[in-house]
Structure 1
């Protein structure tokens, strides 16, 4: 199947990404990352060391035959498979991602499973797909008996986190986030657009209009990268929120050191994003101000550590 909006391609791609700190006391090495993400025996874990350590599990397919989410209750049905994978960044941050793409129409009757298995990650409608209604409904969240891609991502996350090599001794308190996204081809003459929203419950939504021919897998990678950096910013802001600035707080240096040791070096926007979508990331970053906020917080953390080091050197000892 081709890219978004091409004659043989989908008119819609949707997905959800879950992000959390790997539940173990320290970053895992490359060999351990392979063990964690070896979800299938017939395909290897993909590893990358540049620009940072990045491990990707083999893709897993989940067969579905159900109604897609819809804002107007449109009666429709999709059949096929949802693709899911797990990603481990620097042996420290775990993501699970599930997504699918869908063409404008399909056969008027349901075909045998073999027809759908030959198109992994594609959900084919029975008849026509109400693409706009499905896109809006997907971002709003599934209703009863509707396709729930988030539950597929969550199930994969739980599977990895149950691995016996993890010690579940987290070095700092963190938050878990979900990013739900949709992508449709831009109308001819229309510029790329991005609509990004955040809710207090850890849910983020992204509605994308992208150039014709954009590969759904590339969009999924873009959204994983956005979800990672949103999680990093959210987690560091949460850790700093309400912490007293006074040197008398003995817990603050430990929190600051944990942030430096485990998270500050992970900020690397677009490190694993398809080059064709770098401009979209830059537009997102400009809209959210994430990089500016991250730089300010990182400098604040380093300044606090320097001030505490200076105070400790000038602290009078019992022998003075």
Structure 2
């Protein structure tokens, strides 16, 4: 979270990420991804094929001049620019994120816009920044009119969903998630740590981090993009499995009760296509996307190690994947009841 020697020390970084399934029947290839993510004519889209297909837009800047959210009710005005960008993973998962960092102190009076434009992704307070109170205010959601970085991420997400490349025929049902994060300075000599990771209502997750001085805002945004992507995968696959009443008969794939009863009267033969049809899009479009730390800065990699211990992201994912494979294997084996029903 360091900055140039002539600038005040950075004491807070904040951001928010939107993650969703791209509303398209087929995944986009690298050329189409570049078209979707081409937010600026003066900068190219970053494309990568290793370790997976990934595209990231150039940053765009949004000027802000408004009060900061604060947990203790303090009214601190801030001016600057919020950086926003979009990313597409394997042509299938769309993410938009917005983030900024803040110094410990700022000018006492508003400066010309040129002063802020040469500091991209920096929002300066008027006077001293109560960074602990502002961090909690950001995580809790501020009052109307306060700086809301989520609105910027959401606006970019909405803009991309209107792109003519998208046919709005997603291969499976899912919901977008939001991950809101703040990063505060770690104690001298301490490494990065996750103080709190919370699953809130309305698809919101909140993360409070401690990071050493010198951690860049872009590195933090990349870490939180990665965390948001894998949290979305876990959430979506859990819901898919919860929506399938495994072993409950023909209506196992979420059919209304009347259809379930009808399926049970027709025999177990109807169960096979229902469960397979429900699980196949997960296998085709989601299971290969799990790749933690693929693009996380090396100095922030220990944070993923902590998540693997508790709550155990990959451990839960492997359990879900095994459940899916077990169900597909079971339904590939001929059932004795089904063979009896097909007999003379």
Partner of 1:185: 185
> Offset at 1:184?
1.0
47-56 or 306-315, larger mean C-alpha shift? 306-315
Partner of 2:60: 60
> Offset at 1:191?
5.2
> Offset at 1:314?
9.6
80-89 or 251-260, larger mean C-alpha shift? 251-260
> Offset at 1:311?
2.3
For the pair shown, the structure with the greater C-alpha radius of gyration is 2
Structure 2 distance, partners of 1:106, 1:213, is: 19
> Offset at 1:130?
1.1
Partner of 1:46: 46
2-11 or 31-40, larger mean C-alpha shift? 2-11
Q: Retained in 2: the 8 A contact 1:39–1:57?
A: yes
Where relative contact order (Cα < 8 A, 6+ residues apart) is larger, the structure is 1
Partner of 2:329: 306
Partner of 2:203: 202
> Offset at 1:98?
0.2
Partner of 1:241: 242
Structure 1 outlier segments of 4+, above 6 Å: 4-7
Q: After superposition, give the CA deviation of every residue in 1:244-297 in whole Å (9 maximum; x if it has no partner).
A: 223633422112110000000000000010111111111123222111110000
Matched pairs, number: 320
Gaps spanning 5+ residues in structure 1: where? none
* TM-score, normalised by the number of residues in structure 1: 0.95
Structure 1 distance, partners of 2:21, 2:147, is: 27
Partner of 2:95: 95
Q: Retained in 1: the 8 A contact 2:8–2:104?
A: no
Partner of 2:168: 168
Partner of 1:288: 311
**Of residues 256, 260, 263 in structure 1, which corresponds to 2:279?**
256
Partner of 1:212: 213
Structure 1 distance, partners of 2:208, 2:97, is: 17
Partner of 1:114: 114
232-241 or 125-134, larger mean C-alpha shift? 125-134
> Offset at 1:188?
1.9
Q: Describe the shift of the 1:184–1:259 C-alpha distance in structure 2 as closer, same or farther (beyond 3 A).
A: same
Q: Describe the shift of the 1:244–1:21 C-alpha distance in structure 2 as closer, same or farther (beyond 3 A).
A: same
Is the counterpart of residue 223 in structure 1 residue 224 in structure 2? Answer: yes
Partner of 2:320: 297
Structure 1 distance, partners of 2:224, 2:177, is: 13
> Offset at 1:200?
3.2
Gaps spanning 5+ residues in structure 2: where? 251-270
Q: CA-atom RMSD, angstroms?
A: 2.1
Q: Retained in 2: the 8 A contact 1:4–1:184?
A: no
> Offset at 1:173?
1.0
Partner SS for 1:23:
coil
Q: Describe the shift of the 1:151–1:30 C-alpha distance in structure 2 as closer, same or farther (beyond 3 A).
A: same
